[in-house]
Amino acid sequence: MNALDIISKTKKSVPLTDEEIRFLVNGFTSGDIPDYQMSAWLMAVCLNGLTESETASLTIAMRDSGDILDLGCIDRITVDKHSTGGVGDKITLISGAIVASCGVAVPKMSGRGLGHTGGTIDKLESIKGYRTNLSFTEFTDIVNQTGFSVISQTGTLCPADKKIYALRNASGTVDSIPLICASIMSKKLAVNADCLLLDVKCGSGAFMKTRRDAEKLASLMEKTAQSAGKKCRAVITDMDSPLGFCIGNSLEVKEAVELLQGKSKGRLYDISIQISADMLELAGIGNITECTELAEKAVSSGSALSVLKETIRLHGGDCSICDDTDKLPKAKYSHTIYAPRDVEILSVNAEKIGMASLLLGAGRITKDEPIDYTAGIVLDFSTGDKISMDAPLMTLYSNCVSDFSETALLAYNAINFKTLTGNVLT
């Protein structure tokens, strides 16, 4: 068995055996198979794809390259949740607290943001003192106390994925549904929760731009999880426009907390309740109607907020932000964009808003770049709103950018609106 034969088979769309895929993954992870041969195979996969069986084999081989967590010390059924990434997506903070308050444990290892999409770890680290690098024992102890904990992924989890993803990024082979599936699912299966809820984002601000591609990825990830013996459900949610009104780390924490305080409803609330209900139903708590009611009650009663507050405290963070979100860090500079005339908002491009937030310092282009936790954008509208001339459209925030001219133009151009006749709102 050798890498050249494996590359040739994939180039000719001849399915690989489990042994051949494991040989390739283990050989590349150990350094026995060089970058140029693995790059050739990845490109062949991008061009010809993999079968469902090959994708499952690749996922398992990548999972088995490192540690697999044993969550048996957690005294509740466990549900992990994964989002494929988007703009303004703070649902993990909300749904994790809701589901935990309903009696199901949510132990989660999460990542940092890259490009225009945010990361849950960055959001949590915007809270003063919050520690994301915990030992496994500390992690599971917190889950047993509150039902909810989010920490950063350990270096011993799926080293094959880390090495393969870096090569995909350098070789232009990121946009392959089987490779995306294997990357996500290897990490999720290594975390080893009882159940897995996959939130596949679709639209301008997501990696999956079309409904068709989102459905392909969702179906493939479900089948891959199920072939590994895991209960799994994938849902597709819209990311054509930002999720909620806030984009940026501390701004998104503020919005998540205020939703759990019962101060806001709308699209973010509806999707958070939907995701939470799906997680609860997957865990066997009840049917979807019963689980929806439980999720709504967790917010209205304040129990979900209490879980989040105690989780933040146990992570060493300033939990008083759950009582007063003004205690979150604030930017030194801000710039408000106003409506140039009476307009109706037709749509907003999530990717462009995400890129504007990135330029303000809220995100990073490379994995090791520092970020400004205070930076971001707060929208003052929803799609369909009618806005009077000179009313605020959005406000930009940053500690590191004081000249907002470039980002303001990008953010303004993300809005698609029509002028209302005669400056009269109708």
| Domains identified in the chain and CATH numbers | 3-49 (no CATH), 79-322 (3.40.1030.10), 333-423 (3.90.1170.30)
In order, the DSSP letters of 317-344 are --GGGGT-GGGS---SEEEEEE-SSSEE
As a whole number of angstroms, the distance between CA 260 and CA 264 comes to 8
Please tell me the predicted confidence (pLDDT) of residue 425.
Answer: 43
| C-beta of residue 232 within 8 angstroms of C-beta of residue 222 | yes
As a whole number of angstroms, the distance between CA 64 and CA 80 comes to 19
CB neighbour list of residue 60: distance below 8 Å, 6 or more residues apart: 186, 189, 228
As a whole number of angstroms, the distance between CA 287 and CA 280 comes to 9
As a whole number of angstroms, the distance between CA 404 and CA 396 comes to 8
Query: To which H or E segment does residue 407 belong?
Result: helix 405-413
Per the listing, tokens 């596949």 go with 200
Q: Tens-of-pLDDT digits for all 426 residues of the chain?
A: 899 999 999 999 999 999 999 999 999 999 999 999 999 999 999 999 999 999 999 999 999 999 999 999 999 999 999 998 888 899 999 999 999 999 999 999 987 665 566 688 889 999 999 999 999 999 999 999 999 999 988 778 899 998 998 898 888 888 899 999 999 999 999 999 999 999 999 998 888 889 999 999 999 999 999 999 999 999 999 988 899 999 999 999 999 999 999 998 899 999 999 999 999 999 999 999 999 999 999 999 999 999 999 999 999 999 999 999 999 999 999 999 999 999 999 999 999 999 999 999 888 776 667 889 999 999 999 899 999 999 999 999 999 888 899 999 999 999 999 888 644 443
CA atoms within 13 A on the CB side of 390: 1
Please give the single-letter amino acid code of residue 122. D
In this structure, the chain runs to a length of 426
Instruction: Characterize the bridge pairing of strands 106-110 and 148-152.
Output: parallel
As a whole number of angstroms, the distance between CA 27 and CA 31 comes to 6
Edge-to-edge strands, sheet with 386-387: 386-387, 343-348, 415-419
Q: From residue 103, give the alpha-carbon distance in Å to each of 77, 98, 148, 149, 310.
A: 8, 9, 10, 14, 15
Residues classed as catalytic: 82, 161, 168, 183, 187
Helices (H), 12-64: 18-30, 35-48, 52-63
Give CA angle at 396 (393, 401), nearest 5°: 155
Please tell me the predicted confidence (pLDDT) of residue 299.
Answer: 97
Query: In three state form, how does the secondary structure of 255-310 look?
Result: HHHHHHCCCCCCHHHHHHHHHHHHHHHHCCCCCHHHHHHHHHHHHHCCHHHHHHHH
